[in-house]
Structure 1
Amino acid sequence: MRYTTMRYTTMRYTTVESPLGPLTLVGSDGVLTGLYMERQRHRPGEESFGERDEAPFAEAIRQLEEYFAGTREEFDIPLALHGTPFQRRVWAELREIPFGETISYRELAERIGRPTASRAVGLANGRNPVSIIVPCHRVVGAGGDLTGYGGGVERKRHLLDFERDRQWNRAEPTLPLL
């Protein structure tokens, strides 16, 4: 995954349909800075999204369509994630959680070398500006509980069930024809 820091010229956005409802993609100069669901917690005001223009998001839209069709497990889209160094560290580690798998907030805190910071990790996880592509939905409570998700627990459940189903179908052995 490529991350970049840059000054933006003109912000652009578009909205695309998905199994989770409309997704708003936000970015500038071909770099994605946000992917937001309707009524998502910490969603910026639409006045910050800039001009509506689908063209700069063609690759992101294609990859999201492939993901929801079950043919893509990882994304390769240029991102510019704005947050504190701690948040960016958490978001980078989210990208390391394999498709169809989950880890706890405590495990995520341990992976970034801050084993006592699971609460701070949860807060950073909730501020992820590019949900789905940076898979914050793959982090669960210590007992596997579906605790919090900026897009809502039902969407989190949908994404996790979708990924587990795809993983299971992929792993299912094929029987020889007789």
Structure 2
Amino acid sequence: MNLMQTKRPATTSNDAALDTIAYAIGESAIGKILAARSDIGVYAILIGSDADALEQDLGDRFPGNVVLEDETTLRDDLAAIARFIETPAVGLDVPLDLRHGTPFQQRVWEVLRTIPCGTTITYTALARRLGQPNGARAVATACAANAIALGVPCHRVVRTDRTLAGYRWGVERKRALLDKEATI
């Protein structure tokens, strides 16, 4: 195991335990994927082209946590993620840890998880579904804060005119994911 980052000091017996996140990087049809897991479940799925940039993104998103590279622990999660990218109809059946979002972000993410594979929704329609008819920008911000790509399928959210925009991991990846899902 490789210790990537420790931002908080070690605890004493009177302190709460440090939050530890294990991570590993694998390959997929849309680039490198970083999966990270807490004791509860998958804490992050990040997509990119560069392993160092993915590690940096993980550290930046979760300062104050101990982040450990652990390929053995994440092997099954990485395989499930890669399988989902190739064959979205199989679903992505991994436990998720959504605690890192604000209450509003968590509500957005939970609703996103109900959007069926092969279906899209607009930012405005998603805001309405949340009871926030004027909240399309807040929904877009919550989507941008999502650290669990694919597990929280923010790639299924599109503009009102149905064009693609605003995907943290690139519009080309968003298009590839939606195209793959459309073949279901």
TM-score after normalising by structure 2: 0.78
Equivalence for 2:178: 160
Gaps of 5+ in 1: 1-6, 168-178
Bigger fraction of residues in strand? 2
Instruction: Give, in angstroms, the shift of residue 29 of structure 1.
Output: 2.2
Select which of 18, 24, 34 maps to 2:28: 18
CA distance in 2, matches of 1:33, 1:49: 13
Structure 2 runs not aligned, ≥5 long: 1-16
Offset, 1:59: 3.3
Task: Report the 3-state secondary structure (helix = DSSP H, G, I; strand = E; otherwise coil) of the residue aligned with 2:31.
Answer: coil
Counterpart contact for 1:34–1:129, Cα < 8 Å: yes
1:64-95 CA distance string (max 9 Å, x none): 23313316442221111211100000000110
**Residues 51-130 of structure 1 mapped to structure 2, 5 A cutoff:** 51-70=68-87, 72-81=89-98, 82-130=100-148
Report the counterpart of residue 4 of structure 2 in structure 1.
Answer: none
Determine if contact 1:59/1:77 at 8 Å carries over to the other structure. Answer: no
Provide the aligned length of Structure 1 versus Structure 2.
159
Aligned residues of 2:46 and 2:147 also touching (Cα < 8 A): yes
* Cα shift readout 1:114-147 (whole Å, capped 9, x = no counterpart): 1110110000011111001211000000000101
The Cα shift of 1:49 comes to 6.6
Question: In structure 2, how many angstroms separate the alpha carbons of the residues matched to 1:73 and 1:106?
Answer: 28
SS at match of 2:165: coil
Q: Is the 8 A contact 2:88 2:117 kept in 1?
A: no
Secondary structure of 1:125's partner?
Answer: helix
1:154 Cα deviation after fit: 0.6
Percent of pairs with identical residues? 38
After TM superposition, which residue ranges in structure 1, 4 or more long, deviate above 6 angstroms? Answer: none
SS of the equivalent of 2:23 reads strand
